[in-house]
Structure 1
Amino acid sequence: MNNIQFDQAIEQFVTYIQLEKNFSPLTVRDYRADILEFFAFLQVEAVADLAQVEYIHARLYVTKMYEEKKARTTISRKISSIRSFFKFLNKEYDLDDTAFQALYHPKKEVRLPHFFYEEELTKLFKANEGADSKSLRNMAILELLYATGIRVSELTSIELKDIDFSLNILRVMGKGRKERYVPFGHFAAEAMQHYLEESRPKLIKGIQHSELFVNMRGGALTARGVRFILNDMMKQAELHTSIHPHMLRHTFATHLLNNGADLRTVQELLGHSSLSSTQVYTHVTKEHLRNTYMNAHPRA
């Protein structure tokens, strides 16, 4: 089918990945942005119809991204986004999608996840103790993130009904609307109960909603709000390193593996669909073992 309009095609694709593929709002946003960026490139190249896109255009686009010094992980993601888009058009309109099917995925850089050492984490917890409403809430967030390894997007979507204190189990809605159950320990349970009994009723200010964590105005806490809270807690602890929310997830996985947990269990707890996503943490634990050996052995 010729003359497939850009606007019409992307809206149909976005509807497809939202309703049929159950992609998260963040993933949908990234896919849309990647495709719109490619559309802008096509317009510069005077390609007015998606049916005119050929392998040479795909190669030129990838070359352009390398010239702009984009990270290989970013380029790889953009290729995946556009490839999925053309695969959809092939299915819906019988459009030739070989341009991106034949394209090589750049190899990802091996980046080891950053994590907290146990003494750093102890300092972070100690420096942020307090009995006021804000401190109780922040401690509950910190304890729960470390206890479960959940993503910040998963944390902010937790509702009161998702917590089972009798079994210390948390129901989590992960990527692709995949549900899983994650256990938590007594430190996290105690911090959450203190927050629910002494802090949340004061913070919520009569606003009725079911989200577990609330901001200082009583509304549901956002991912951006969690990032702000964690940065503030780092300042309180005077830890001279930057923090990102995934760092506590990395710490959770690394500490479990360092203390003897098996990879399959960690995969299930993290909600990874593939074991290869979890295996990056084995590189971290090997590096940790090597550093410990080099520092401790007299003839290392």
Structure 2
Amino acid sequence: MIAEFGRYLRFERDLSPHTVRAYLSDVTALFDHLSNRLHGLDISTLREWLAEQHADGKARATLARRTACIRTFTAYCHRRGWLPDDPGLLLGSAKAPRPLPAVLDQQQAQAVLEAPSAGEPKELRDQAILELLYATGVRVSELCALDVDDVDRDRHVIRVLGKGRKERSVPFGLPALRALDKWCVHGRPLWIRAGSGAAVFLGVRGGRIDPGTVRRVVHARLREVEGAPDMGPHGLRHSAATHLLEGGADLRSVQELLGHASLHTTQIYTHVSIERLRTAYRQAHPRA
């Protein structure tokens, strides 16, 4: 049952490998609770299992994911005829906390992107990575998956494949274009190997760059900027979205740029902007 559920998640739902692993781990834990029997699974059993997870100190985000997983699993079992009804329909959705993300202010972002470069291939690549992450707000996985043909230099647009294999086009500005051109003309040709393929960004051995390398690049550059919070590529994504809203972009446009399926996900950036307004108000208003 677990193996068939995994195939359903991979090939029909087209979920990411990370999500599939997490869901299968959750279902395995549920079967352990049920002594490896599906018979008798009902809403009381599900609530009891989740209550045990809560008592064991599981985080709210973990409980929210496990609730979503179990609802997906029981619906699948009901469709397959393994359960006479779907007890997951009666299971309430646990709300995961939504902490405000750390973001750079615009001066810090400028300092991150204007660090001096000696023109070595690694420095050219790192600069292009940072410029493109901040200019587009793409996810690190989307950046690593970029091929040369995904970049439209004339229109200043990149084509990315996001979550759920949804394709979208994201614009970028002149600074990112200049950094990308320097890397592709003066850096990338020096690192190309037989297995490089069409990847835009390469590692030092010529293979497609991996997310871990991009994270190290971002952390290293942020350490050079005084007062900048320590964050990874997702922090640059948060910063780009926040600065877009502060500059007057509407929430729907930011949703499209980030590739969010729901506007509710994008709304967290309005909270960040409001929190900055509160901070400025407290610092500046004489009767704050």
Q: Which runs of 5+ in 1 are unaligned?
A: 1-8
Q: Describe the SS at the equivalent of 1:38.
A: helix
Going from structure 1 to structure 2, the CA distance change for 1:66 and 1:285 (only over 3 Å counts) comes to same
Q: Is the Cα contact below 8 Å between 1:18 and 1:24 reproduced in 2?
A: yes
2:160–2:167: 8 Å Cα contact kept in structure 1?
Answer: yes
User: TM-score of the superposition, structure 1-length normalised?
Assistant: 0.90
Matches within 5 A, 1:263-282: 263-282=251-270
Cα separation, partners in 2 of 1:169 and 1:175, compared to 1, 3 Å: same
Matched, 1:41 2:33: yes
Given the alignment of the two structures, is residue 214 of structure 1 paired with residue 202 of structure 2, yes or no?
Answer: yes
Query: Which segments of 5 or more consecutive residues in structure 2 lack a partner in the other structure?
Result: none
Which amino acid counterpart does residue 86 of structure 1 have in structure 2? Answer: T
Greater alpha carbon shift after TM alignment, 70-79 vs 168-177 = 70-79
The offset of 1:37, in angstroms, is 2.6
CA displacement at 1:80 relative to structure 2: 0.5
The letter for the 2-side match of 1:125 is L
Q: Which residue of 1 aligns with 2:279?
A: 291
**CA 1:128–1:228: 2 relative to 1, 3 Å:** farther
| Identity among equivalent pairs (%) | 40
The 1-side partners of 2:250 and 2:272 are apart by: 14
Does the 8 Å CA contact 1:128/1:236 hold for their aligned counterparts?
A: no
Q: 8 Å contact 1:207–1:219 — kept in the other structure?
A: yes
CA distance in 2, matches of 1:227, 1:154: 13
Match of 2:170 among 182, 192, 201: 182
1:151 deviates by 0.6
What TM-score comes out, normalization by structure 2 length?
Answer: 0.93
Detail structure 1 runs of 4+ shifted over 4 Å in the superposition.
Answer: none
Instruction: Mark the CA change 1:12 to 1:145 in structure 2 (over 3 Å): closer, same or farther.
Output: same
Aligned length: 288
What RMSD, in angstroms, separates the aligned Cα atoms of the two structures?
1.8
Deviation at 1:145, TM superposition (A): 0.6
Match of 1:163 in 2: 151
Q: Residue 33 of structure 1: SS of its match in structure 2?
A: helix
| 1:223-280 residue CA offsets vs partner (Å, 9 max, x unmatched) | 1221122222223335563212211111111000001000110011111111111111
- 2:170 alignment partner, SS class: strand
The residue matched to 2:169 in structure 1 has which SS? strand
**Which of the residues 97, 116, 125 maps onto 2:104?**
116
Give me the whole-angstrom Cα distance separating, in 1, the residues matched to 2:57 and 2:134: 35
